[in-house]
Copies of this chain bind each other. A is one copy, B any other.
Amino acid sequence: MSTTHWQMARRAARLNPSTIREILKLSERPGIISLAGGLPSADTFPVQAMREATERVLREQPREALQYAASEGYGPLREWVAAELCGMGLAVEAAQVLITTGSQQGLDLVGKVLIDPGSAVAVESPTYLGALQAFAPFEPEFVAVEGDAEGPDPAALASARGARFMYLLPNFQNPSGRCLSAARRDALAAAAQSIGLPVVEDNPYGDLWFDAPPPPPLAARLGDGAIYLGSFSKVLAPGLRLGYVVPPKQLFPKMLQAKQAADLHTPGFNQRVVYEVIKNGFLREHVPTIRARYRAQRDAMRAALQAHLPAGCRFNAPEGGMFFWVELPSSLDATALLPKAVERGVAYVPGAPFFTSGSHAHTLRLSFVTVPPAKIEEGVRALAAVIEEALQK
Report yes or no: B6 in contact with A251, Cβ–Cβ below 8 A: yes
Determine if A68 and B4 form an interchain contact, defined as CB atoms under 8 angstroms apart. no
Shortest distance between the CB of A282 and any CB in chain B (Å)? 15
The stretch among A59-67, A175-183, A314-322 that forms the contact with chain B is A59-67
B residues less than 8 Å from A101 (CB atoms): 101, 241, 263, 266-267
A359 to chain B, nearest CB (A): 23
A258 close to B (CB within 8 Å): yes
| Number of chain copies forming the complex | 2
Which residues of B sit under 8 angstroms from A113, Cβ to Cβ?
8-9, 12, 15
Q: Which of A254-294 touch B at CB < 8 Å?
A: 254, 257-258, 260-270
The answer, yes or no, to whether A313 is at the interface (CB within 8 Å) is: no
CB interface residues, A 299-319, toward B, < 8 Å: none
Q: Is the CB of A267 within 8 A of B264?
A: no
List residues of chain B with CB within 8 A of the CB of A193.
Answer: 2-4
- Interface residue A7 (Cβ < 8 Å from any Cβ of B): yes
Contacts of A67 in B (CB 8 A): 39-40, 42, 45, 237-239
Most buried by B among A114, A119, A241: A241
Q: Which of B9, B65, B114, B265 contacts A7 (CB 8 A)?
A: B114
Query: Does A84 have its Cβ within 8 Å of any Cβ on chain B?
Result: no
A99 to chain B, nearest CB (A): 12
Q: Nearest-CB distance from A231 to chain B (Å)?
A: 11
For A224, the closest partner residue in chain B by CB is B2
- Besides A4-B224, A12-B112, A100-B263, 4 more A-B contacts (Cβ < 8 Å) are A7-B114, A15-B254, A15-B257, A42-B66
